[in-house]
Homo-oligomer: A and B are copies of this chain.
Amino acid sequence: MITARLQTEPFDAAAEQAALIGARTDLGAAVSFTGLVRADDGLVALTLEHYPAMTLAQLQAIAAEAASRWPGTFGTIIHRHGRMLPGEPIVLVVTASPHRGDAFAAAQFLMDWLKTKAPFWKREAWADGSTRWVEAKGSDDAAAERW
């Protein structure tokens, strides 16, 4: 079971991992990925716009795809939207599995697909008052296509 949530407020990665594992003792590996707002030279904030009617369904579809590829792997996806400051977390992917290979692979898959298939757009606000929409990266397409 891999679940997905969408929220504006920050998340507590450790609490999410603990909740995912719960009382289970058949899991040998837990992987947590946190995406953070980088303070590239003069960046003052990042605003994430998204497509409300589609976003959560798309995250859930990505989660379902991972669950079918890695049966026995549990996971949680949390993606924030709205305005965030440098150093703040944007996205969390936590996976837990009997073996480390599956936990790592599922976490990377979820991030790679999410990067190219979830309808979010980042707008950067700079110290000089300008704003700029982040450009999609070809490396993200390549990462998503390797799975």
Structural contact, A101 and B34, CB atoms closer than 8 A: no
Asked if residues A108 and B104 are in contact (CB atoms below 8 Å), the reply is: yes
Q: Which of B12, B39, B139, B143 is A26 in contact with, Cβ under 8 Å?
A: B39
Assembly of this chain: how many copies?
2
Given A13-B14, A14-B13, verify A35-B28 contact (CB < 8 Å): yes
Interface residues of A (CB under 8 A from B): 12-14, 17, 21, 24-40, 86-87, 98, 100-101, 103-104, 107-108, 111, 139, 143
Inside 8 A of A13's CB, which chain B residues have their CB?
A: 14, 17, 32
A141 to chain B, nearest CB (A): 13
Q: Is the CB of B39 within 8 A of A29?
A: no
